[in-house]
Amino acid sequence: MDWGALQTILGGVNKHSTSIGKIWLTVLFIFRIMILVVAAERVWGDEQDDFVCNTLQPGCKNVCYDHFFPISHIRLWALQLIFVSTPALLVAMHVAYRRHEKKRQFRKGDQKCEYKDIEEIRRQRFRIEGSLWWTYTSSIFCRLVFEAVFMYAFYFMYDGFRMPRLMKCDAWPCPNVVDCFVSRPTEKTVFTIFMIAVSSICILLNVAELCYLLTKFFLRRSKKAGNPKHHPNHENKEETKQNEMNELISDSCQNPVIGFSS
């Protein structure tokens, strides 16, 4: 169990996302999770070992480290990534619930059900409308809130995004004000700024996606209000064609871990 499992889960949701959602997912995987695993973890790997205080007093280093780093940057990022990815699970659960209902209808032999077999239901991509629209929009809103909260927590806990070279500590049992030196402060500052920049890009993408969904919603409503004549057969055929096109261009990630796409 590691970031790969999260990638499998989110890959399943990718099928039902908008284009902006797919870009967001790509940015998340490549510029955040991958950077965290291959680079950032190594930079912070020796953070306490190489945190040095100008004193021989036992315990002073531990206490000063704990005072300046209540929670390590790397752990905060890991939590941020987990919380930001979790709302996508809501969408995955909703899609799984819809598939389950369609399978039930199919098994009952419902005449309204237009699928030929269970495999078709499994492979079908749902359009983001109706209740799925609300779930999807709520998930984007939750993501935005989590991103903002974590960025604020970073700023609040570390007084900005810069990692200083030297920290002055006078917590007990340090005898006086003691100079403590952080390991690799410049490298850590660079990565912190990088992660904050990518978080900001993700926030912008989420805001753009939210605006796109709201615009689509209001346009659809005004179209329905302006065009009272309803052609169900024509709309069904259009939907089927759209679904087929989406099948051809979308990913075919299966999700065996949670079983949400089955």
Partner 1 sequence: MSWEFLCDLLSGVNKYSTGIGRIWVAVVFTFRLLVYVVAAENIWKYEHDEFECNIKQPGCENVCFDHFFPVSHIRLWALQLIMVSTPSLLVVFHVAYRQNKHHNQRLYKSPGEIDGGLLCTYLISLILKTGFEIVFLVLFYKLYNGFKVPRLVKCNIRPCPNTVDCYISKPTEKMIFLCFLVATSCLCIVLNLSELSYLIFKYSVKCYLKRYIKRCQ
Considering only the stretches 23-31, 54-62, 206-214, 220-228, report the one whose residues sit in contact with partner 1 under the rule CB under 8 A. 54-62
Q: Which stretch binds partner 1 (CB under 8 A): 51-59, 179-187, 204-212, 218-226?
A: 51-59
**DSSP count for the chain of H helices, then E strands:** 11, 3
- Asked whether the bond before 173 is cis by omega within 30 degrees of 0, the reply is yes
Nearer to partner 1, 23 or 90 (CB): 90
Sheet with 178-181: list strands edge to edge: 52-53, 178-181, 166-169
x-or-dash pattern for partner 1, window 106-125, by CB under 8 A? Answer: -x------------------
Q: For residue 168, what are its two tokens?
A: 């002055």
Q: Angle 90-93-96 (CA atoms, 0-180°, nearest 5)?
A: 150
Given candidates 93, 201, 208, 210, which one binds partner 1 under the rule CB under 8 A?
A: 93
Burial bucket for residue 44 (CB in 10 Å: 0-12, 13-18, 19+):
buried
**Which DSSP symbol is given to 42?**
H
**Contact residue for partner 1 among 27, 79, 142, 198 (CB under 8 A):** 79
Residue 71 in contact with partner 1, rule: CB under 8 A: yes
Note the residues at the interface with partner 1 (CB under 8 A): 1-3, 5-6, 9, 48-49, 57-59, 61-63, 65-66, 69-72, 74-75, 78-79, 82, 85-86, 89, 93, 96-97, 100, 103-104, 107, 173, 256-259
